[in-house]
Amino acid sequence: MIDALNISKRYGKTLANDNISLTAAAGEMTVLLGPNGAGKSTLIKSVCGLLRFEGGVTIGGFDNHTVDAKRLLGYVPEFPALYPMLTVFEHLEFIAKAYRLSEWRADAEGLLRQFELWDKADKLGKELSKGMQQKVSVCCALLPRPKAVIMDEPLVGLDPHGIRELKAAMRDLKSGGRALLVSTHMIESVEGDWDTTYILNGGKVAAVCRREGLPPGKTLEDIYFSITEGDSTGGGNSTDKADSTGEGGEGV
Amino acid sequence: MTALFYIVRKSVKNSLKELLRKPGKLALYLLALAVIAGVIVMSFFPSLRASASAPLFWFTGILFLYIVLFVVLAVVKGMSGGDAIFEMSDVNLLFVSPVDPRRILVYGVARMAKSAFFAGFFILFQANSLANFGIRYGGVLLTLAGFVLSVVVLLILSLLIYSATNGRPGRKRLVKLLAALPFLPLAVFAAASYLQTRDVLAAAEAAIQSPFLTFIPVAGWTAAGVSAFLSGATGAGLLYFGANLLLGIGLIVYLLFSNPDYYEDVLVATETAYEKKRALSEGNLSAATAPASGRRVRVKGTGIPFYGAAALFGKHARENFRENRFGFLTLPSALIAAGAILLTLFVRELWLAMQILMWMQIFLIGTGRGLKETYSHYIYMIPETSFRKILWSNMEIVARTLLESALIFGISGALLKSDAVYILVCAAAYTLFSLLLLGVNYVFMRFTGADISAGLLLFIYCIAVLLVMAPGVVLAVVIGSAVGGDIGFLTGLLVLCGWELAAGLVCFALSGGVLHHCDMPVFRTNK
């Protein structure tokens, strides 16, 4: 569903993404892991068409800048950016109207109830806490029922209920055949649901892991630390060359 | 004190090092230094006398009103959250350190003096306008000094007001009353003068020249002090400047001895300023530029009209009408309109007011919601073409400019009994100039990819606007002069309108697909 090919992004002299290729398949959760400054957010913004880059990105076979691709894509940014003078419900109405959705009200109410925002529907964006803003941001991304959802650190700032509901929503999206691309620092938050993980380091894909390819007794966390901290005991066969997905980097 | 000196020394050193790594920023600073040096050097040439075409008391009045604006802001800020004189890093590192709070306060105020200087820096560029009042380059520097002094005093006043009124509604009412009180004698005198003469200008002149103005702390003292220096009354000038200085020192001393535990009082303002900076750097420009007032917004009508890209305009309309009662005409634009109408009455010429408004519009165009929209992801993600999204997201500023034009030129033209065609042409020139400015902004985004520092961008943008407008102005003057007379003047303005429209459309054509060819801009705050 999401295919990125040879993405490179440069900020002045800094190469934030160095020839990265990535695939997020329908019905799967693809995770981006990496230390601060690894280039995860830059990659996500490039895939969403918010940055210029070298290389190509397609969403459902359409170039990511086309209207068709945008119709298929939902995006939860790292920092929620709400409009201070719109109410919570108006944020969803704005998305519904801008995406020309029909019969959206029931979906909007369902999302707001799921994320415990229904009683805040008439609150202005500026009156919400950071966590609530994040929840509204998630609702806005999910309302158009996108085929591919990209989330950048979606759990940061959420309360325990919000985390539980968002994790449930991610599982629902996955089981509903959506492609999920999630960037996170919290390995444990995706431990139970990930299918493919790209470990980024220094702007490059350091390793690509498939859940079924994990060595017995090893967790994603073990692999992560073996790659980013060079722990030879954690990675098992992490020195294997690129796996069958062909994204470059080491395969596990 | 060693710790504070260390911070200052290291901050200055690291800022200089950073400048060397950023040639664009370095060029801006060098330009600023060159302007200051230029003004100082020019002030040593008394032969470069400005020829006064307007009496000095009008300058006194303008300076007084300008500082009154800062007085109002200081009082309002003081009653909401105080003024930010510290950074969050000061709160986190200095406030918890064993450094004397009194010394930290002096450090904060001293640093604010630097900010106040930069806030008043634009005064140096007003040398030409001030020359009309017979003010030379030395006078320009003096005006800047008076402005900086009053802004610093007002910062401390704001802090003191917050300290005294925080959580005490009764005291807030008292402060409002006390703040208005010094202005009362002047207002009564101005009203009485008007009733006597039935002439607004004569009443204003009498009020400005009355001693009641000089009784008003900060605003009156600064205006009277600068004017006294300019007219050679050095003793009186020193007296008024000294009064301001004493007030500032008195406020600091009072603050230190009455409340050495002032940390809580500065925390709200510091955190608010920090949150705004953070919102800016996270791309949440709408939140960062939203009014910080504690005014409770009543949500009455709800809903977003229109579909597709037009929903952007629907959203802007909802936001505007919710944010202020004038709808598309925001409070700043209503104030500008009122000021422009007054100015037109003074200069008695529509086109002069139009010219000043156009200069202001170069900087104010960025306040439109359309350009702000490019700082968050929504506009990029909406499944519509880039052209439609740009078009509809800028309808709000088009509506605002049309309303401003109708108000300013309609009312001023009617008061001056100007010809209807002349009024329409002036309004068209102003509105089309806004279109051109939008076009230039998007061309910049398209070709720089929005990957350029804000200061440098503003500098190049101003030069670009001047370059784009220059041929149109030359063409207008040449054709207007060739035709001659009133008809020639109107023809010249029409030519200018045509140029603005054509250049604007070319800019929009060049910026095609801008939302697909730029990085979502991030406001660099240098925090």
Per CB-CB distance under 8 Å, the chain A contacts of B286 are: 81-85
Among B174-178, B291-295, B450-454, where is mean pLDDT lowest? B291-295
- Residue B404 pLDDT > 90, yes or no? no
Residues A70, B287: C-beta atoms closer than 8 Å: no
Domains held by chain A: number? 1
What is the distance in angstroms between the Cα of A165 and the nearest Cα belonging to chain B? 24
Q: Do B516 and A85 touch (CB under 8 A)?
A: no
**Contact check, Cβ <8 Å, B381/A84:** no
- Residue that is last in its domain, among B278, B307, B333: B278
Residue B433 resides in a domain: yes
Are the Cβ atoms of A125 and B287 closer than 8 angstroms?
Answer: yes
Which stretches of chain A are assigned E, i.e. beta strand? 2-11, 14-24, 29-33, 54-59, 62-63, 73-76, 148-152, 179-183, 196-201, 204-210, 250-251
Residues B341 and B437 in one domain: yes
**Hey, which of A198-202, A241-245, B71-75 has the most confident mean pLDDT?**
A198-202
Rounded-to-integer distance, Cα A34 and Cα B226, Å: 60
- Confidence band of B53 (pLDDT split at 50, 70, 90): low
What is the pLDDT at residue A14?
Answer: 86
pLDDT beyond 60 at A243: no
Q: Does residue B300 sit within a domain?
A: no
**In chain B, pLDDT over 70 holds for what percent of residues?**
87
Task: Let me know whether B272 and B133 are in one domain.
Answer: yes
Q: What Rg value do the Cα atoms of chain B yield, rounded? A: 25
| B326 and B410 both lie in a single domain | yes
Q: From A46, which residue of chain B is nearest by alpha-carbon distance?
A: B519
CB contact under 8 A, B319 and A126: no
User: Would residue B474 count as lying in a domain?
Assistant: yes
Q: Which residues neighbour A167 within 8 Å (Cβ) at sequence distance 6 or greater?
A: A155, A189, A193
Q: What is the CATH number of the domain that holds A59?
A: 3.40.50.300
Q: Which domain holds residue B263?
A: 43-278
Same domain, yes or no, for B253 and B335?
Answer: no
3-class DSSP state for residue A124? strand
Q: Are residues B258 and B331 in the same domain?
A: no
pLDDT of B112 strictly over 80:
no
Whether B151 and B264 map to the same domain: the answer is yes
Distance CA B227, CA B303 (A): 54
- B449 has a chain A CB within 8 A of its CB: yes
Task: Give the residue on B whose Cα is nearest the Cα of A97.
Answer: B307
Q: Which of A92-96, A201-205, B443-447, B452-456 has the lowest mean pLDDT?
A: B452-456
Which ipTM score applies to this complex?
0.86
Query: Is B92 domain-assigned?
Result: yes
Q: Is residue A98 part of a domain?
A: no
Residue B93 has pLDDT above 50, yes or no: yes
Average pLDDT over residues A134-151: 93
| B249 shares its domain with B189 | yes
Q: What is the mean pLDDT of residues B448-477?
A: 79
* pLDDT at B285 (0 to 100): 63
> Do the strands A62-63 and A54-59 form a parallel or antiparallel pair, or are they unpaired?
antiparallel
Residues B476 and B376 in one domain: yes
At residue A205, φ and ψ (nearest 5 deg) are -80, 115
Residues B449, A68: C-beta atoms closer than 8 Å: no
Decide if B49 is inside a domain. Answer: yes
Q: Average pLDDT of B349-360? A: 79
Please tell me the predicted confidence (pLDDT) of residue A57: 94
CB of B318 within 8 Å of any CB in chain A?
yes
What gap in Å lies between CA B15 and CA B22, rounded to an integer?
11
Which of the pair, B522 or B141, is modelled with greater confidence? B141
Whether residue A200 lies inside any domain: the answer is yes
Among B120, B108, B157, B152, which residue's Cα sits nearest to residue B32? B120
Q: Rg of chain A over CA atoms, in angstroms?
A: 18
SS3 assignment, position A87: strand
Domain membership of residue A137 (yes or no) is no
Q: What is the pLDDT of residues A25-69, one digit of tens each?
A: 999 999 999 888 889 999 999 999 888 899 999 999 999 989 999
Separation of alpha carbons B472 and B388, rounded Å:
28
In a domain, A135, yes or no: no
Would you place residue B526 in the very low, low, confident or very high pLDDT band (cuts 50, 70, 90)?
very low
Cα–Cα distance, A43 to A22 (Å, whole number): 10
pLDDT for res B288: 62
Average pLDDT along chain B: 82
pLDDT at A239: 33
Give B279 to chain A, closest Cα distance, Å: 8
B319 with B196, same domain?
Answer: no
Q: How far is CA B40 from the centre of its chain?
A: 25
Residue B263 structure tokens: 């940390």
Q: Provide the pLDDT for residue A55.
A: 92
A251 SS3 class: strand
SS3 assignment, position B261? coil
In a domain, B400, yes or no: yes
Nearest to B304 among A68, A70, A97 (CB): A97
Across the interface, whether the CB atoms of B383 and A81 are under 8 A apart is answered: no
A244 found inside a domain: yes
In the three-class reduction of DSSP (H, G, I as helix; E, B as strand; rest coil), residue A247 is classed as coil
Dist CA B83 CA B166 (whole Å): 13
CB contact under 8 A, B377 and A75: yes
User: Per 3-state DSSP, what percentage of chain B is helix, strand, and coil (rounded to 5)?
Assistant: 80, 0, 20
Centre a 10 Å sphere on the Cβ of residue B276 and count the other Cβ atoms it contains: 18
Residues B270 and B366 in one domain: no
Is B519 touching A (CB cutoff 8 A)?
Answer: yes
Chain A hits for B449, Cβ within 8 Å: 52
Residue A23, φ and ψ in degrees, nearest 5: -130, 135
Chain B positions touching A53 (Cβ under 8 A) are none
For residue B255, name the pLDDT band (cuts at 50, 70, 90): confident
pLDDT for B454 beyond 70: no
- pLDDT tens, A206-234? 889 898 888 888 888 888 888 877 654 44
Final residue in a domain of this structure, among B262, B278, B294: B278
Q: Write the CB contacts of B334 (distance below 8 Å, at least 6 apart in sequence).
A: B326
> Is B6 a domain residue?
no
Length reported for chain B: 527
A-chain residue closest to B373, CA distance: A83
Mean pLDDT of B346-351: 74
* Percent helix / strand / coil, chain A, rounded to 5: 35, 25, 40
Residue A247 backbone phi and psi in degrees, to 5: -80, 0
Instruction: Report if residue A238 sits inside a domain.
Output: yes
For an interface test with A, the pick among B306, B321, B377, B524 (most A C-beta atoms closer than 10 Å) comes out as B377
Cα dihedral: B402, B403, B407, B413 (round 10): 20
Contact B449 A52 (CB under 8 A): yes
Using the 3D structure, point to which of B217, B251, B278 is the last residue of a domain.
B278
Count A/B contacts: CB-CB distance under 8 Å: 107
B375/B398 Cα distance (integer angstroms): 20
Instruction: Say yes or no: B129 contacts chain A, CB-CB below 8 A.
Output: no
d(CA A196, CA A215): 14
Q: Is B386 helix (H, G, I), strand (E, B) or coil?
A: helix
Q: Read off the DSSP letter of residue A15.
A: E
8 Å CB contact of B383 and A99 = yes
What amino acid is encoded at B410 in this protein? G
* pLDDT confidence of residue B267: 78
Q: Is the pLDDT of residue A240 over 50?
A: no
The CA distance from B18 to B26, in Å, is: 9
Domain that holds residue A183: 2-81+148-251
Report whether A70 contacts A50 (CB < 8 A).
no
Q: How many domains does chain B have?
A: 2
Determine, for residues B451 and A49 on separate chains, whether the beta-carbon distance falls below 8 Å.
no
Q: Residue B96: what pLDDT?
A: 80
The answer to pTM > 0.90 is no
B198 lies in the same domain as B251 = yes
Confidence of residue A250 (pLDDT cuts 50, 70, 90): low
Residue B15 is assigned to a structural domain of this protein:
no
Higher pLDDT, B337 or B228: B228
Residue A15 in any domain: the answer is yes
Residue B283 pLDDT level (bands cut at 50, 70, 90): low
A245-249, B10-14, B361-365, B391-395: range with highest mean pLDDT = B391-395
- C-alpha B340: how far from its chain's center? 15
Using alpha carbons only, give the angle B396, B397, B403 rounded to the nearest 5 degrees. Answer: 95
B267 with B395, same domain: the answer is no
Out of A81, A82, A87, closest to residue B302 by CB? A87
Chain A interface includes B322 (CB < 8 A): yes
Of B287, B306, B383, the CB nearest to A84: B287
Tokens read off for B115:
């900010």
Whether A71 and B383 lie within 8 Å, measured CB to CB? yes
DSSP letter for A216, please. Answer: T
Q: φ and ψ at A186, to 5 degrees?
A: -90, 90
Q: Once rounded to an integer, what is the mean pLDDT over residues B52-71?
A: 82
- Say whether pLDDT at B355 is over 70: yes
Tens-digit pLDDT profile for residues A80-133: 888 988 999 999 999 999 999 998 999 999 999 988 899 999 999 888 888 889
Residues A38, A15 contacting (CB under 8 angstroms): no
